[in-house]
């Protein structure tokens, strides 16, 4: 089993109305997704989620409510990704070896941009549960 963790990274919209979600473009996969990555040996999932957000987006975050876990297969292997709602608390995005672009979008625009249905479903779950702890 491949174990991974990630976040629906959000911030209050600079305009003062609503929230925005971070959506990343991964060059290797040519897709738009949510920040996530594999756990390191012995690493706790919540810690991995925060680490992966920082590595991929340059953003520090405060994880809140746990969101539904995604389960799917990658190259015939089972993969499980635990997610949290996480408010961005600071940082600056710089393109890196995994992520070449980050955009902040309204939830509806984020759903439209995301490549995978599982990520779109996660945004729906995030909105129905709310970002609170």
Do the Cβ atoms of 122 and 8 come closer than 8 Å?
yes
Q: Where are the domains of the chain?
A: 2-129
Do the Cβ atoms of 49 and 82 come closer than 8 Å?
yes
Pick the CATH number of 2-129 from 3.30.70.3280, 3.90.420.10, 3.90.79.10, 3.40.50.300: 3.90.79.10
Q: What is the pLDDT of residue 96?
A: 94
pTM confidence score: 0.94
* 109: number of Cβ within 10 Å: 14
Q: What is the mean pLDDT of residues 110-121?
A: 97
DSSP structure class, residue 130: -
pLDDT band at 14 (very low <50, low <70, confident <90, very high): confident
- At 108 the three-state DSSP class reads helix
Res 16 pLDDT > 90? no
- At 80 the three-state DSSP class reads strand
Could you tell me the two tokens for 1?
A: 């089993």
Q: What is the pLDDT of residue 132?
A: 60
**Farthest CA pair distance, the chain:** 45
Could you tell me the two tokens for 54?
A: 């920082």
CA distances to 20, 66, 67, 84 from 133, in Å: 18, 8, 11, 10
Res 99 pLDDT > 80? yes
Residue-averaged pLDDT of the chain: 95
């Amino acid at each position: 089993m491949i174990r991974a963790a990630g976040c629906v990274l959000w911030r209050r919209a600079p305009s003062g109305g609503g929230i925005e979600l971070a959506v990343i473009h991964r060059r290797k996969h040519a897709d738009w997704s949510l920040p996530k990555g594999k756990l390191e040996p012995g690493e706790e999932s919540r810690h991995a989620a925060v680490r992966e957000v920082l590595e991929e987006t340059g953003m520090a975050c405060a994880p809140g409510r746990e969101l539904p876990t995604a389960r799917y297969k990658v190259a015939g292997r089972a993969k499980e990704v635990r997610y949290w709602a996480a408010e961005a608390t600071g940082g600056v995005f710089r393109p890196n070896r995994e992520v070449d672009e980050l955009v902040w979008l309204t939830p509806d625009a984020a759903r439209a941009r995301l490549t995978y249905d599982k990520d779109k479903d996660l945004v729906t779950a995030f909105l129905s549960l709310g970002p609170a702890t």
